[in-house]
Amino acid sequence: MEPNYDPLWDENGELRRGCTVREALDWLTKHGSHGAGESVYINGVSYKLGRLLYGPNRPEVADKPISRVCDGYYRQLNFSV
């Protein structure tokens, strides 16, 4: 994978098909824009990033493809799957 590859957005600024919640969050935390202690909202339910990425009881929603990125408050992550 190339260093500037963004799993969430393609070269045209469109949502990349098949990107899972975990892939997007992993990329965002590795590039420093978000931390494991922050919350993310998926289908309106709040989850901690760390639980979705590293938790032993990771919810199933972590491995589902993102269908839509929703608007939210400043730096708030909101996805629909």
pLDDT at position 56: 84
CB atoms within 10 A of CB 79: 24
Specify the pLDDT at position 4: 75
Helices (H) and strands (E) in the chain, counts: 2, 4
pLDDT in tens, 15-66: 999 999 999 999 888 887 788 888 999 999 999 999 999 878 899 999 999 9
The confidence score (pLDDT) of residue 23 equals 93
Query: For residue 3, what pLDDT is reported?
Result: 61
Model confidence, pTM: 0.84
Cβ neighbours for 45, distance < 8 A, ≥ 6 positions apart: 61
